[in-house]
Structure 1
Amino acid sequence: MGSIASSRRFRHATMRDYERIQRIYAHARAVMAANGNPTQWGDSFPRESTVRADITEGRTMLLIDDGIDDGAESDGERILAQFALCAGEDPTYRDIDGGWLDDDPYVTIHRIASSGQARHVAYDCIGWVVEHYGNVRADTHPNNKAMQHVFERSGFIRCGLIALLDRDTDKTRIAYQRHE
């Protein structure tokens, strides 16, 4: 799980980061598909409108360092990972086949993706959220064994199953929570 290297830091994304964020999501979709999880994000998730809203509403967090970003215009930094940090009640989590650890206020981690330029960055992202917010919920696809492993190694408890509200098929997700 490890500590964050000294040059690594978190910041909010801006629209200047949009193209790099989209490339990272494309990379994540390809990695998921190659590892037995082709349907979680398919070939078009997250939607362009969601990515733009996450950025403009201050939800997209970036894990960055001072490395070279594969030739992209980067102002001397590269994006190692990104995620949406959503405060407040998530409507998707109202109905769960199982049970949450508690009903206390929480934040949700959504759409976490690695650029593939550094290892174990999901642990850094999750650790930062837990450290800053304490009560954190998340979910992942039943086929996403890598993310299930990351959540469980990060101290999250598997709470049950939820159904996505914005899909007609492939809606089931495994719900997790960690409360410090």
Structure 2
Amino acid sequence: MNTTAALLLRKANLSEVPQIWEIIQDAIEQRRLEGSKQWQDGYPNELSIENDINNGFGYVLTESETILCYAAIIFDIEPAYEEIEGKWLTDGDYVVVHRVAVSKLAKGKGIATKLFQKIEDLAVQQNTYSIKVDTNFDNIPMLKILDKLNYTYCGEVYFRGGARKAYEKQLS
């Protein structure tokens, strides 16, 4: 991997669904190997990705045209976040990050951390100064990233019947 090439966060194209789906499948398998219950029930699937892209939520982080990771970045209300067992840091506009998956080509290179830094930049460009994210209690890699980037644990939210740890970061 060429570390001098610029990392670019951009909207994904429908033509990229097969590549993105491969990255998601690797992430699903990684979760399974780590003993996580996250993403082990048929979600997300290719339709989730197509819907993200059609809705303008699907983003890829690329380096020299190679897709290194995928995320749904949503500048809108997340209905599941309306009910939190705990308290969010802010009540205003926020960006939601879902379905983060890193290519196995980029594993262990800090790419997910760079992705979140790019999302922070994007949020500020859109005059949105809060990022909210949730993850499974057993998704250790994501919990470490959120800790490293100073996200604040706010409580639990419920998705598809399961409790998830909810985090928020205020941007300045």
Structure 1 and Structure 2 fold alike (TM over 0.5): yes
Partner of 2:126: none
User: Could you tell me which amino acid in structure 2 is paired with residue 149 of structure 1?
Assistant: K
Letter paired with 1:173: R
Structure 2 equivalent of residue 72 of structure 1:
none
- Give me the whole-angstrom Cα distance separating, in 2, the residues matched to 1:78 and 1:84: 18
Distance 2:49 2:122 in 1: 23
| Equivalent in 65, 77, 97 of residue 109 of structure 1 | 97
Match of 1:179 in 2: 170
Deviation at 1:87, TM superposition (A): 1.1
* Deviates further, 123-132 or 101-110: 123-132
- Counterpart residue identity of residue 49, structure 2: V
Whether 1:131 aligns to 2:121 is yes
Pick aligned residue for 2:112 from 115, 122, 131? 122
Measure the CA separation in 1 of the matches of 2:120 and 2:40.
28
Contact 2:80 2:157 in 1 (8 A): yes
Residue 148 (structure 2) pairs with residue 150 (structure 1): no
Q: Which runs of 5+ in 1 are unaligned?
A: 67-76
Distance 2:5 2:102 in 1: 19
- Equivalent in the alignment of 2:154: 159
Shift of 1:43: 5.2
- Cα distance between partner residues in 2 of 1:160 and 1:135: 16
Aligned residue type for 1:122: A
Identify the range of structure 1 (41-50 vs 110-119) with the bigger mean alpha-carbon deviation. Answer: 41-50
Work out the CA distance in 2 between the residues paired with 1:162 and 1:174.
Answer: 7
Deviations 1:75-127 (A, max 9, x none): xx211011000111110001111100010100100000000212211111111
Q: Letter of the 1:30 partner, please give it.
A: E
Query: Is 1:57 aligned to residue 48 of structure 2?
Result: no
Of stretches 137-146 and 50-59 in structure 1, the one that deviates more from structure 2 is: 50-59
Q: Is the 8 A contact 1:29 1:43 kept in 2?
A: no
Correspondence for 1:23: 22
- How well do the aligned residues superpose, as a CA RMSD in angstroms? 1.4
Contact 2:62–2:68 (8 Å) recurs in 1? yes
Q: Deviations over 1:116-163 (max 9, x none)?
A: 212211111111111221310000000111101101111100000111
What is the distance in 2 between the residues matched to 1:23 and 1:132? Answer: 25
2:72 matches 1:84: yes
Instruction: State the match for 1:71 in structure 2.
Output: none
| TM-score, reference length from structure 2 | 0.89
SS of the aligned residue for 2:83 comes to: coil
Identity %: 27
> Matched residue of 2:168: which SS?
strand
* Structure 2: distance between partners of 1:155 and 1:19: 33
